[in-house]
């Protein structure tokens, strides 16, 4: 936690979910009561194919929906791509950029991630910018160097009309059931906070820093209680309302 920052609990459904899975979202929305929404922000980043229906679904709720990627341009000859404007048109207000699975599967570079984030922010949306080291980099002791490079390359110079959120997701912890120790998470987040303050001055103290990687109801309280951890980005455990709400209950 960081004093003065409202935590964000964000789900990432990845390539999972059909419009028939909307029932899980309905439970999340209905359970996101004023007592909870006063304490945390809740967001679920869905496959593009669910955004239209989900947008109608959360329209009168404090629950937010988002996408998991976008194109850096707002329109044009980019067959198969989706723009931020299209995402916003569905009622979504956030986009994950630079998730490690996109960096690996699609070879996205820091520069490409920054360009996408810039477009998201320009459009007034929240850009959740993901960074994190591989197992090999961790074993070599280069975690903080990797984070420094990814932060300076992937985070735009200005939030413009939107909100920058940074998600630290050690790649070796994603979907594996493994998590870093609380001490390691604390060290990484303290480092990221210092980097943000160096770059953005006092504003760096207001940027939400999420932890992601095998967050579950059973470990959420410990992870979310760490200094400078302002919420979570959750893959597997965000697919079921019971698990996702169990993580929210850590607050
Ligand atoms: C993710 O991919 O963003 C993630 C954190 O996945 P999981 O929670 O399944 O480890």
Q: How far apart are CA 185 and CA 16, in angstroms?
A: 28
pLDDT tens across the length of the chain (251 residues): 899 999 999 999 999 999 999 999 999 999 999 999 999 999 999 999 999 999 999 999 999 999 999 999 999 999 999 999 999 999 999 999 999 999 999 999 999 999 999 999 999 999 999 999 999 999 999 999 999 999 999 999 999 999 999 999 999 999 999 999 999 999 999 999 999 999 999 999 999 999 999 999 999 999 999 999 999 999 999 999 999 999 999 99
Candidate list 101, 133, 169, 195, residue with the active-site label: 169
169 is catalytic: yes
What phi and psi, each to the nearest 5 degrees, are found at residue 207? -80, 130
189 is catalytic: no
In the prediction, which pLDDT does 69 show?
A: 98
Angle between helices 22-31 and 48-58 (to 10 degrees): 40
Nearest CA to ligand 1 atom 3: 235
Burial of 79 (0-12, 13-18, 19+ CB in 10 A): exposed
Please, what are the domains in the chain? 8-248 (3.20.20.70)
Ligand 1 proximity of 87 Cβ (cutoff 6 Å): no
The residues, ordered by sequence, that sit 6+ positions from 40 with a Cβ below 8 Å of its Cβ are 6, 7, 8, 9, 231, 248, 251
Task: Indicate whether this model's pTM tops 0.95.
Answer: yes
Ligand 1 proximity of 236 Cβ (cutoff 6 Å): yes
Q: Which atom of ligand 1 is nearest to the CA of 101?
A: 2
Closest by alpha carbon to 123, among 83, 96, 155? 83
- Span from the CA of 201 to the centroid of ligand 1 (angstroms): 30
In the prediction, which pLDDT does 190 show?
A: 98
pLDDT digits (tens, 9 = 90+) for 44-84: 999 999 999 999 999 999 999 999 999 999 999 999 999 99
- Span from the CA of 150 to the centroid of ligand 1 (angstroms): 18
Closest by alpha carbon to 112, among 129, 125, 126? 129
């Amino acid at each position: 936690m960081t004093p003065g920052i409202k935590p964000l609990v964000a789900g990432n459904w990845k390539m999972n979910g059909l419009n028939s899975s909307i029932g899980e979202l309905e439970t999340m929305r209905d359970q996101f009561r004023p007592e909870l929404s006063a304490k945390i922000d809740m967001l679920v980043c869905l496959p593009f194919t669910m955004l239209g229906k989900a947008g109608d679904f959360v329209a009168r709720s404090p629950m937010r929906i988002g996408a998991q990627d976008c194109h850096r341009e707002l329109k044009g000859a980019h067959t198969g791509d989706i723009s931020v404007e299209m995402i916003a048109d569905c009622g979504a207000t956030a986009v994950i950029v630079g998730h490690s699975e996109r960096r690996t599967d699609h070879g996205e570079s820091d520069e490409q991630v920054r360009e996408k984030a810039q477009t998201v922010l320009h459009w007034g949306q929240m850009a959740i910018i993901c960074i994190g080291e591989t197992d090999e980099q961790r074993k070599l002791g280069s975690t903080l160097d990797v984070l420094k490079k990814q932060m300076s390359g992937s985070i735009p110079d200005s939030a413009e009309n939107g909100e920058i959120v940074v998600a630290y997701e050690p790649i070796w912890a994603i979907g594996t059931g493994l998590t870093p120790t609380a001490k390691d998470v604390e060290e990484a987040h303290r480092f990221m906070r210092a980097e943000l303050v160096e770059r953005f001055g006092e504003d760096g103290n207001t940027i939400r820093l999420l932890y992601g990687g095998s967050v579950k109801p059973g470990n959420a309280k410990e992870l979310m209680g760490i200094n400078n951890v302002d919420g979570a980005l959750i893959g597997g455990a965000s697919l079921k309302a019971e698990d996702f709400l169990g993580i929210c209950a850590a607050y």
